[in-house]
């Protein structure tokens, strides 16, 4: 008490001193705030932490509420998984990039699919024109997935796949490749994104409406719990919500609200929270507001642990742990002076590491211009390796804990995210909030506000609205997708359809249709269909015939 | 320059790309600048975009594509407009579009291409100065 009193006196003296200084030299801004609008004080002291209960708020690493880390030794045991999202053109070209990345020291694979694949169209569909192989690899059938993983023993890598609406189909294809390689399913490690709810407000690769989509998701939970026990069955993603323009607080809130919706759906489908809970994983953005980002990761961990324990009664600590992948913020990259993006990405990556990420993708400096070139990808991966091996930030667990500012921010982000979650609960949960357009509007408003801040000069982006150069040299050697890839995919589809047993395909699709109309788990009939060489488009069309398609309300 | 009638803009997302942050920001900025903006939503075919432009009687079509499919989709919209003898609509494109692709897009009739980092004020100014209808 004496100490606090002394501190109060000290602070009063400090305030008087500040007043004098301000008269001579005002501060840069009248008010300082994080990107989420949380006010940032001039200085934080123990006076800001008088109610701070260490055991309740932080505890020890690897213990509830996991604020400090999900794993007791964190990076002292093992660094995060360095996982670069990659895929373009054909399965062969992407397979070559994977071998390059694995040789460069990458420790996990992350598959980017092209848009037709993500929306369940084969490469010969009219809507696929111009898109085949562009933002990822084109996959039409088991043949393509086999080529994609050629020479990569699936029991030795962990594979993350960014696939949502047709997730069950791609996962089934992966399982079929494992079977061919002779790898038992319980040896497979990896993650499927499988997070449909963020597709409606943010990413856009939906096929079906939310409710049938939720069934496909819970079918995957149930199937994997029994058959692919090491697989992360969902990656509940705030990344794209943030890219679409949300603030850090909104990113946490909307992501965890979606998480709550998945847990509720799984429980309703008859699963037990501690059966599927340990396999839920998350995916966050790491943006430029350095301390806010670090605090965001810690707040998300604490909030999810509480939700799982208190709201859903999860008893297994693994169900309470929020494990997450991070990608640096694509939306923070500029096309102007693109080499500056290397520094942006490095700070964002450092925030993710200080926030305790389990795996990390660092963006390439040329991504505001084109798909990343090999050199740019290598620099991005090296950025992670420098943090891991040279900066020594990994040698103690959660090194920023106890910072008056960080703990204050962590508390505020948690509280503000909780307010949003309460508001979404009142609307009837995340699905209802999306159907009402609430989440879409919140994100769009934040995005517009951010843009206006840049245009008014209130927010400085180096090289964009300050420190510009008149004539700048753009990087050369941008990656170009071979335009012939679509023709090759279409030719391959023709070959597939003329050589496979079409009777078996029709039979398998008919069985799938029946299952979809009922309530059986859809994974077994989908697996059977892809093994019979049904295409992705055929399987998705079968489901479309039963579930219909989602149509977004016009804005 | 008379502005008896508000400038009408169709904001469109051709193809399968789901990145709509940029187009939504532009919709909001154009509306704040006094224009009437109709946003198509995601996944529009070039045929649907032209049909919407005719139905809404717009002065401007502003398309956004970040998936790399602009080389097919933007010129396809121009082709359909030409087939229908529509020449008084100002067509703009935006997104992640490499510099080297821009000449071909302009050749196809896209009036201007706006790439990342563009100030929305510049787009508003461009539209006001170049809109073809009275």
Long-range contacts of A71-80 (CB under 8 A, 24+ apart): A72/A397, A73/A397, A74/A356, A74/A394, A74/A397, A74/A398, A75/A353, A75/A388, A75/A394, A75/A395, A75/A397, A76/A394, A76/A395, A76/A396, A76/A397, A79/A388, A79/A394, A80/A353, A80/A357, A80/A358, A80/A359, A80/A360, A80/A384, A80/A388
Beta carbons of A120 and A164 less than 8 angstroms apart = no
Q: What is the mean pLDDT of chain A?
A: 95
Beta carbons of B14 and B49 less than 8 angstroms apart = yes
Confidence of residue A193 (pLDDT cuts 50, 70, 90): very high
- Across the interface, whether the CB atoms of B21 and A447 are under 8 A apart is answered yes
Establish if B2 belongs to a structural domain.
Answer: no
Distance CA B105, CA B71 (A): 7
Q: Is the pLDDT of residue B133 over 80?
A: no
pLDDT for position B134? 53
Interface residue of B29, B68, B104, B114 to substitute, partner A, most A CBs within 10 Å: B68
pLDDT for position A207? 97
Confidence of residue B3 (pLDDT cuts 50, 70, 90): low
Establish if A515 belongs to a structural domain.
Answer: no
Bridge partners of B92, per DSSP, are B62, B112
- Number of domains chain A contains: 1
More confident residue, A107 or A462: A462
Q: Is the pLDDT of residue A1 over 90?
A: no
- Number of domains chain B contains: 1
Q: With an 8 Å Cβ cutoff, is A447 touching chain B?
A: yes
Distance CA B39, CA B65 (A): 14
Establish if A472 belongs to a structural domain.
Answer: no
Host domain of residue A161: 54-456
Q: How far is B24 from chain A (nearest CA, A)?
A: 7
Q: Stretch A158-185: mean pLDDT, rounded? A: 97
Establish if A465 belongs to a structural domain.
Answer: no
For chain B positions 79-98, those within 8 Å of chain A (CB to CB) are 96, 98
Residue A449 vs residues A245, A247, A269, B63, B81: alpha-carbon distances, Å: 9, 10, 40, 22, 35
Q: Is the pLDDT of residue B28 over 90?
A: yes
Kindly provide the ipTM of the predicted complex, given to two decimals. 0.92
% of residues, chain A, pLDDT over 70: 99
Q: pLDDT tens digits, residue range A75-104? A: 999 999 998 888 888 999 999 989 988 998
Distance CA A124, CA A486 (A): 8
Q: How far is B46 from chain A (nearest CA, A)?
A: 10
Establish if B1 belongs to a structural domain.
Answer: no
Here the CATH number for the domain that contains residue B30 is 3.40.50.280
Q: Is the pLDDT of residue A30 over 70?
A: yes
Establish if A341 belongs to a structural domain.
Answer: yes
Here the CATH number for the domain that contains residue A396 is 3.20.20.240
**pTM of the prediction?**
0.95
Q: With an 8 Å Cβ cutoff, is A183 touching chain B?
A: no
Which among B16, B117, B120 has CB closest to A131?
B16
Q: Which two tokens stand for residue A502?
A: 């079409």
pLDDT for position A555? 47
Q: pLDDT tens digits, residue range A499-511? A: 999 999 999 999 9
Q: pLDDT tens digits, residue range A405-433? A: 999 999 999 999 999 999 999 999 999 99
Contacts of residue B25 in chain A, CB cutoff 8 Å? Answer: 245, 444, 447-448, 451
Contacts of residue B104 in chain A, CB cutoff 8 Å? Answer: none
Q: With an 8 Å Cβ cutoff, is A136 touching chain B?
A: no
Host domain of residue B53: 8-130
Q: Stretch A434-453: mean pLDDT, rounded? A: 96
Q: Stretch A325-340: mean pLDDT, rounded? A: 96
Establish if A467 belongs to a structural domain.
Answer: no
């Amino acid at each position: 008490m004496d100490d606090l009193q002394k501190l109060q006196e000290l602070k009063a003296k400090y305030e008087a001193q500040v007043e004098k200084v301000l008269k001579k030299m005002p501060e840069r801004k009248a008010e300082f705030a994080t990107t989420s609008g949380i006010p940032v004080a001039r200085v934080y002291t123990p006076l800001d932490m008088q109610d701070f209960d260490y055991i309740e708020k932080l505890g020890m690493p690897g213990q509830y509420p996991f604020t400090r880390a999900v794993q007791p030794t964190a990076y002292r045991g093992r660094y995060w998984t360095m996982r670069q999202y990659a895929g373009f053109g054909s399965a062969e070209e992407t397979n070559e990039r994977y071998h390059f990345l694995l040789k460069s020291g990458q420790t996990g694979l992350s598959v980017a699919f092209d848009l037709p694949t993500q929306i369940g169209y084969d490469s010969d569909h009219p809507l696929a024109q111009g898109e085949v192989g562009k933002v990822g690899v084109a996959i039409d059938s088991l043949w393509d997935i086999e080529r994609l993983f050629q020479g990569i023993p699936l029991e030795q890598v962990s594979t993350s796949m960014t696939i949502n609406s047709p997730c069950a189909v791609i996962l089934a294809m992966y399982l079929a490749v494992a079977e061919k390689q002779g790898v038992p399913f319980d040896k497979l490690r990896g993650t499927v994104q499988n997070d449909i709810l963020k597709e409606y407000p943010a990413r856009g690769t939906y096929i079906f409406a939310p409710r049938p989509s939720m069934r496909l998701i819970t079918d995957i939970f149930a199937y994997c719990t029994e058959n692919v026990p090491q697989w992360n069955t969902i990656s509940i993603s705030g990344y794209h919500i943030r890219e679409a323009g949300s603030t850090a607080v909104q990113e946490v809130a909307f992501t965890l609200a979606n998480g709550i919706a998945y847990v509720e759906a799984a429980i309703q489908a008859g699963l037990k929270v501690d059966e599927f809970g340990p396999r839920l994983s998350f995916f966050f953005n790491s943006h430029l507001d350095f301390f806010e980002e670090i605090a965001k990761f810690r707040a998300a961990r604490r909030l999810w642990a509480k939700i799982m324990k208190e709201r859903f009664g999860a008893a297994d600590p693994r169900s309470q742990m929020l494990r997450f992948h991070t990608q640096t913020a694509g939306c923070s990259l500029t096309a102007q002076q693109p080499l500056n993006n290397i520094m942006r990405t490095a700070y964002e990556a450092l925030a993710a590491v200080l926030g305790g990420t389990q795996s990390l993708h660092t963006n390439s400096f040329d991504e505001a211009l084109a798909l990343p070139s090999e050199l740019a990808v290598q620099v991005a991966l090296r950025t992670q390796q420098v943090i891991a091996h040279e900066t020594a930030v990994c040698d103690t667990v959660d090194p920023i804990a106890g910072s008056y500012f960080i703990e204050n921010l962590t508390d505020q982000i948690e509280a503000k995210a909780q307010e949003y979650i309460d508001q979404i609960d009142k609307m009837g949960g995340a699905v209802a909030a999306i159907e009402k357009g609430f989440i879409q509007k919140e994100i769009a408003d934040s995005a517009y506000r951010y843009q206006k801040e840049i245009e008014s000069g209130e927010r400085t982006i180096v090289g964009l609205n300050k420190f510009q150069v008149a004539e700048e040299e753009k990087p050369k050697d941008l990656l170009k997708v071979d335009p012939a890839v679509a023709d090759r995919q279409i030719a391959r589809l023709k070959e597939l359809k003329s050589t496979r047993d079409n009777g078996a395909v029709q039979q398998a699709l008919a069985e799938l249709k029946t299952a979809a109309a009922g309530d059986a788990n859809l994974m077994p009939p989908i697996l059977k269909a892809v093994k019979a060489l049904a295409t992705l488009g055929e399987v998705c069309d079968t489901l479309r015939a039963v579930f219909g398609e989602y149509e977004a309300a016009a804005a | 320059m008379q502005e008896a009638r508000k400038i009408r803009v169709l904001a469109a997302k051709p193809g399968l790309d789901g990145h709509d942050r940029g187009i939504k920001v532009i919709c909001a900025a154009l509306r704040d600048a006094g224009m009437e903006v109709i946003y198509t939503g995601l996944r529009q075919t070039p045929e649907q975009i032209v049909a919407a432009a005719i139905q809404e009687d717009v002065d401007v079509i502003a398309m956004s594509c970040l998936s790399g499919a602009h080389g097919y989709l933007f010129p396809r919209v121009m082709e359909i407009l030409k087939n229908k003898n529509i020449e008084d609509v100002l067509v703009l494109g935006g997104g992640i579009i490499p510099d080297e692709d821009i000449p071909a897009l302009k050749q196809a009739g896209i009036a201007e291409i706006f790439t990342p980092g563009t100030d929305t004020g510049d787009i508003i100014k461009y539209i006001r100065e170049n809109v073809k209808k009275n």
